[in-house]
Amino acid sequence: MSQKLEVIKQNVIECTKCDLCQTRTNAVPGKGNFHSDVIFVGEAPGRNEDVRGEPFVGVAGKKLSFALEEAGISRDDVYITNIVKCRPPKNRVPTVMERDTCKNYLNEEIAIIKPKLICILGNTAFNSLLGGSEITKFRGKLVRKDNQFYFLTVHPAATIYNQELIEVLKGDIKKLFELITELKNGNEIKVDIEYSS
């Protein structure tokens, strides 16, 4: 891991900036390849992640790994993180205050890795990063904001009891890596939504 990411990781592990530090077992820093072309951003750690201190290692994580493998990508090739780094009690949605307090860590991860594309997993990440809602309506789309590309898809947890959604996630992830290939080849890609800030 890069030294700068290692510093962020340590800061996250020791962080007491919001109340979630009081109920967590372990903080969950981002994990993966810092040369990755893409950062996957989920909501917040769940029970398994809280116990192990790693992102997406429970059932939702299995779904994400599966969708990646189907696209021919290993988890170790990419970087995976969350909007909020500590588990909210009973897996409730993190509050706006918690998200704002934790945001700096994600901004730093993005600044260091400089991904070609940020893959937003589900509504909380969509709302936190782009102010959006209704991910099922916007999923599969490519967004550009402040010269950064974002790709929108459903949260892997939403696919657990929904066979149709796992197909959707698989298709979206495949498309995401096709877009990355186009970008790497220097080709123009079609932006579905332009945000101005």
Interaction site with ligand URA (CB under 6 A)? 42-46, 49, 55-56, 58, 60-61, 82, 157
Residue span binding ligand SF4 (CB under 6 A) among the ranges 63-71, 84-92, 150-158, 159-167: 84-92
| Contacted entry of ligand URA, ligand SF4, none for residue 172, CB cut-off 5 to 8 Å set by kind | none
Q: Does 97 bind ligand SF4 (CB under 6 A)?
A: no
| Contacted entry of ligand SF4, ligand URA, none for residue 85, CB cut-off 5 to 8 Å set by kind | ligand SF4
Interior angle at CA 131, CA 73 and CA 100, nearest 5: 90
Cβ-based neighbour number of residue 194 at 10 Å: 8
Residue 61 or 115: the one with the smaller Cβ distance to ligand URA is 61
| Contacted entry of ligand URA, ligand SF4, none for residue 46, CB cut-off 5 to 8 Å set by kind | ligand URA
Tokens 């967590």 locate to 24
HSE-up (13 A, CA, CB side) for residue 125: 28
Among 27, 113, 120, 129, binds ligand SF4 (CB under 6 A): 27
Per-residue tokens: 34 = 């810092």
Residue 82 or 127: the one with the smaller Cβ distance to ligand URA is 82
Exposure string over 107-128, b if 16+ CB within 10 A, otherwise e:
ebbbebbebebbbbbbbbbbbb
Look at the alpha carbons of 36, 167, 91, 18 in this order and tell me if their dihedral is positive or negative: positive
Residues that bind ligand SF4 (CB under 6 A): 12, 15-18, 20-21, 27, 84-86, 98, 101-102
